[in-house]
Amino acid sequence: MNNKGIIPTTVFNKYNLRANIDADVTSYLSLGVSANYSTINSSLASGGQGNGSIYNNVIQTPVDIPIREGRDLNDPFNRYDQAKGQYGFYGAYTTNPYFLLENFKNENSVDRLTGNFSVVLKPTSWLSITERIGLDVYSDRRFQKELRYNFQPIDPFFAGNNKTYQGNYTESNNILNEINNDLFASVNTKINEKFGITAVVGTNLRTRSLRILTAGVNTQGGLVLPDFFNLDNSNGPAATNNTLAQRRSYSAFGDLTLSYDNLLFLGATVRNDWSSTLPKANNSYFYPSVNASFVFTDLLGENIKNVLSFGKLRASWANVGNDANPYLLTNIFALSNITTGFGSTTFPFTKGDGTSVNGFSQGVNLGNQSLKPENVEEIELGFDLAFWQERLTVDMAWYKRTSTEQIIPAVPISDATGYSSVTLNAGKLVNEGIELTLRGYPIKNKNVTWELFGTYNKFTNTVEYIDKDKDPKEDQIVLGGFGGMSVVAAAGRSYGTFYTTDFRKDPPRYESLLTTTVCLSSLQPRRILVHICQIILHR
């Protein structure tokens, strides 16, 4: 797949190769091997609010300047002359987006290999034992290239408004390795003509490793040569950072489904996980689920089934546990660099005898040796209907999801502790809603298909508490914010509520008076409506 982006100079190329081999060694033993390799090469436009942001410069360009006319970088109006160190008449504040597209690059090269090897033993017709090993290797290499420049305005009116940027080159290599080992036994049999049993019992071992190595030119000095993108071209010591995150989990699980005459289905699952990212005292967590469904249309007469061709009622309850991200239990140390308004100093220091001295500082997040797994409990009731041989289908469900003991990695605390945040289990969050999906085919024949599709979601989201021992008026944590507005999780409100200062009108003079912090709204929508209409012509 070779695609050119909507934005000029951007490309996205992807290639896939897949292979599968299955072999029956005997009537009781079979082997299977599968592998999939994909590679992606892309060059994308810069985002964000930095010097190279395309969108940032487009929206701040005056509306009377035609953006597309900036494509000709040889035109005096648009030109950025590296040899003469001059820029044209485009503007002293914004930069021509086409210049940025040519000289600020975000290149990406991804290789991914997934595969598995399985051995299946079938001693009887109703029992199978499977051993399966799966591998996922993911390599993501990123290159950020930004031109160094110092342009003076060609227009004397803008004298002194130089455009200056020290340039940048950063490369990052992200390598993810994941190995899954599954061993399970499956039973699929019928007790009689109407009763059936399907059961699975097994174990899973998952090991995951993420290694990130990032290196870039000096953040203060940038590049020496303006367009030579190499770490050796750093104007000052290059900045490097490497991260290694490893985790392992072991699981035992079971799944049982009972069926009666393909009308009634009862199911239950159990699972226990042991995770390396949780303390030894809390690293084991058990979670079950039950479900039931009833296909009632098979009990109806043929006249009714000509209209209502399929109908099913369903209900389920599930409890799910989640572990933490790696390294939230203990305090970590990181390489220190000294940065002030007058300059910066980068470790290591070199002593007179040629040896080096490094410096590390303790991280600002306080680890938690008492961390517990998260827990999510959900109940769902719903039905599926199909009319006129699936010319019209209806899927509706009501659900309620309660999340407790959520792992929050950066809860602000007093700096007097020596830290600025702590990892905690906190909060009770309740989500409740209705989901409705409709799909219809007004016309469906060998020549044309006209499909109408729509979904409607209505839901509420409430933070019951963050710390149940706190006064509800003070029970809140700041999730983030910008420009004087904070995104807050507060008891009694939706998750992600906006807090800021507001202006109060004081009649009859209507003077604006700055008041205390107020709650404006939430980032959570109350309703979502999606509708799609498509016509497919068949050749």
Of 363, 305, 372, 289, nearest to 331 (Cα)?
A: 363
DSSP 399-466: EEEEEEEEEEEEEE--GGGT-SEEEEEEEEEEEEEEEEEEEEEEEESSSEEEEEEEEEEEEEEEEEES
> Is the model more confident about 501 or about 295?
295
Which residue, chain included where needed, has tokens 């980068």? Answer: 346
* pLDDT of 362 strictly over 70: yes
Burial class (CB in 10 A: 0-12, 13-18, 19+), 198: middle
Percent of the chain with pLDDT over 70: 95
Question: What number of other Cβ atoms are within 10 A of residue 64's Cβ?
Answer: 5
Report d(CA 111, CA 138) in Å as an integer. Answer: 6
> Is the model more confident about 219 or about 195?
195
> Is the model more confident about 304 or about 23?
23
Radius of gyration of the chain (CA): 31
CA 18 to chain CA centroid, Å, is 26
DSSP 373-412: -EEEEEEEEEEEEEETTTTEEEEEEEEEEEEEEEEEEEEE
* Preceding amide of 66 cis, omega within 30: no
Q: Which of 27-41, 219-233, 318-332, 518-532 has the lowest mean pLDDT?
A: 518-532
Is the separation of the CB atoms in 237 and 219 below 8 Å?
A: no
Question: What number of other Cβ atoms are within 10 A of residue 52's Cβ?
Answer: 25
Mean pLDDT on 274-300:
93
* Preceding amide of 348 cis, omega within 30: yes
Is the separation of the CB atoms in 536 and 512 below 8 Å?
A: no
Mean pLDDT on 159-179:
91
Q: Which residue segments constitute the domains of the chain, with CATH numbers given?
A: 1-43+103-261 (2.40.170.20), 284-344+359-539 (no CATH)
| pLDDT, position 487 | 84
The Cα-based distances of 471 to 98, 212, 465, 490 in angstroms read 55, 42, 10, 11
Of 120, 118, 117, nearest to 129 (Cα)?
A: 120
* Highest-pLDDT range among 107-111, 415-419, 459-463, 472-476: 107-111
Which residue, chain included where needed, has tokens 């546990």? Answer: 321
Is the separation of the CB atoms in 222 and 168 below 8 Å?
A: yes
Q: What are phi and psi of 237, to 5 degrees?
A: -60, 135
pLDDT tens-digit series, residues 508-535: 555 555 566 777 778 788 899 999 999 8
Q: Residue 195: left (phi > 0), alpha (psi -120 to 50), or beta?
A: beta
Is the separation of the CB atoms in 257 and 221 below 8 Å?
A: no
Q: Residue 201: left (phi > 0), alpha (psi -120 to 50), or beta?
A: beta
* pLDDT of 430 strictly over 60: yes
| pLDDT, position 3 | 85
* pLDDT of 504 strictly over 90: no
Instruction: State the sign of the Cα–Cα–Cα–Cα dihedral 367, 495, 374, 456.
Output: negative
pLDDT tens-digit series, residues 56-89: 888 888 888 888 888 888 887 777 877 778 787 7
Report d(CA 294, CA 190) in Å as an integer. Answer: 19
Is the separation of the CB atoms in 402 and 376 below 8 Å?
A: yes
Return the SS3 of 101: helix
| pLDDT, position 510 | 54
Is the separation of the CB atoms in 42 and 11 below 8 Å?
A: yes
- DSSP-derived letter for residue 234 is B
pLDDT tens-digit series, residues 260-277: 988 999 999 999 999 999
Burial state string for 309-322 with b = 16 or more CB within 10 A and e = fewer than 16 = bbbbebebebbbbb
Give the mean pLDDT of the chain: 88
Report d(CA 441, CA 454) in Å as an integer. Answer: 12
